[in-house]
Amino acid sequence: MVMQYRTIQEYSETIDVLGQYTTQILVSFSNHSESLRDVIIRNLIARGITSLTSILSLWKVGHFQDCWILHRALLDRLFHLAALNEDNSFEAFNNWSFVQNYDIKNKVLSDKKIRNKVPKETLSFTKSEKKRYAEIKQENIVWARRKPEEIAKNILNLPFLYNYGYDYASTQVHPMADDGEGDYSRLIENKPWPTGDHIAVIHNSILIQSLLTQNGLNASTLHWRRIVYDFLSQCNHSLELGNNVYLETWNKLQNAGSEFNWCRPSR
């Protein structure tokens, strides 16, 4: 996606501050909205920042292939959010997800070899769950995941996210002929992969989390202050230019005090 990179120390600082910022975003969601749309959005953002911090931790110990696998998962969250917003299909997605989880759980309960080895309280269904399942099945709600390439190209208008992000990372998810060669060299020959070959995954993952958050703010029912968007924009610029203007904006947000609302509900 890019050719110029920062030091791992700079990336670590950005991820740390972005994590603190995201925590406040999530708190704002919780304080101002419990709508299904906003709950799904906030959870996708929360999953994203967790993946980003995990990518950094894995990178520091040289587990680069795992970094790319998580990078693909991070992109998948961005693509799903973009499609959900485009189709206004949050409710259908929620019902589809419930049915999928119910069916998987029911499959375990129905397997005589497995069900007695798992605590019943973790696999039993409540009356309300059974009722909801029956209602959804009766409504015959249809939802399907859209193709990542289509979302990147036609919804986000960022085809490179698929071509040089998702598609490349897929080669790290699915076994290839040279799969594990770098791990073998690291474990047996004590020849770790050069970190410079994989610094891109840190850089690009920060960008993806920033895009995920920005798309989440745009898709939510809440009205966010301009300074909240300014922070994200400045984070992206710091990746390209190497400045730390975003830290000044973050300090302003911190100094605004607990009574400062980052957003307000729609009317």
Q: Tell whether 119 and 245 lie within a shared domain.
A: no
Q: Are 74 and 205 within 8 A, CB to CB?
A: yes
In this model, does residue 89 exceed pLDDT 70? yes
Q: Tell whether 241 and 171 lie within a shared domain.
A: yes
Q: Pick the closest to residue 41 from 83, 102, 71 (CA basis).
A: 83
Coil, strand or helix at 265? strand
Q: Are 234 and 253 within 8 A, CB to CB?
A: no
- What per-residue confidence (pLDDT) applies to 202? 97
Q: If pLDDT is split at 50, 70 and 90, which confidence band does 58 have?
A: very high
- What phi, psi does 116 have (nearest 5°)? -80, -10
Q: Are 61 and 186 within 8 A, CB to CB?
A: no
Q: Tell whether 132 and 172 lie within a shared domain.
A: no
Q: Tell whether 182 and 229 lie within a shared domain.
A: yes
Is 1 part of any domain? no
Q: What is the full DSSP assignment across 78-140?
A: HHHHHHHHHHT-HHHHHHHHHHHHHHHHHHHHH-HHHHTTS-HHHH---HHHHHHHHHHHHHT
Query: Beta partners for 264?
Result: 223
What distance in Å separates the CA atoms of residue 50 and residue 10, rounded to the nearest whole number?
19
In this prediction, residues 243-266 reach a mean pLDDT of 93
- What per-residue confidence (pLDDT) applies to 2? 43
In this model, does residue 256 exceed pLDDT 70? yes
Domain range for 135 is: 90-142
Q: If pLDDT is split at 50, 70 and 90, which confidence band does 21 have?
A: very high
- What per-residue confidence (pLDDT) applies to 123? 67
Q: Tell whether 66 and 94 lie within a shared domain.
A: no
Is 2 part of any domain? no
The residue among 208 and 110 whose pLDDT is bigger is 208
Q: Tell whether 101 and 127 lie within a shared domain.
A: yes
> pTM score, two decimals?
0.92
The residue among 194 and 229 whose pLDDT is bigger is 229
- What per-residue confidence (pLDDT) applies to 196? 64
In this prediction, residues 111-118 reach a mean pLDDT of 74
Domain count, the chain: 2
Pairing type for strands 263-265 and 222-224 reads: antiparallel
- The helix/strand count (H/E) of the chain reads as 14, 2
- What per-residue confidence (pLDDT) applies to 9? 95
In this prediction, residues 34-58 reach a mean pLDDT of 98
Q: Tell whether 81 and 183 lie within a shared domain.
A: yes
Q: Are 198 and 69 within 8 A, CB to CB?
A: no
Is 233 part of any domain? yes
Q: Tell whether 116 and 208 lie within a shared domain.
A: no
In this model, does residue 1 exceed pLDDT 50? no
Q: If pLDDT is split at 50, 70 and 90, which confidence band does 4 have?
A: confident
Is 258 part of any domain? yes
Q: Tell whether 112 and 124 lie within a shared domain.
A: yes
Domain termination site, one of 107, 142, 177: 142
Average per-residue pLDDT in the chain?
A: 92
Q: Are 110 and 204 within 8 A, CB to CB?
A: no
Contacts by 251-259, CB closer than 8 A, 24 or more apart? 252/227, 253/21, 253/24, 253/227, 253/228
Q: Tell whether 29 and 15 lie within a shared domain.
A: yes
Is 95 part of any domain? yes
Is 80 part of any domain? yes
pLDDT digits (tens, 9 = 90+) for 133-184: 999 999 988 899 999 999 999 999 999 999 999 999 998 888 888 888 888 8
Q: Tell whether 72 and 200 lie within a shared domain.
A: yes
What distance in Å separates the CA atoms of residue 172 and residue 58, rounded to the nearest whole number?
14
The residues near 85 (Cβ < 8 Å, ≥ 6 apart) are 215, 218, 219
pLDDT digits (tens, 9 = 90+) for 198-221: 899 999 999 999 999 999 999 999
Q: Tell whether 68 and 197 lie within a shared domain.
A: yes
- What per-residue confidence (pLDDT) applies to 121? 67
What distance in Å separates the CA atoms of residue 243 and residue 219, rounded to the nearest whole number?
29
The residue among 117 and 106 whose pLDDT is bigger is 106
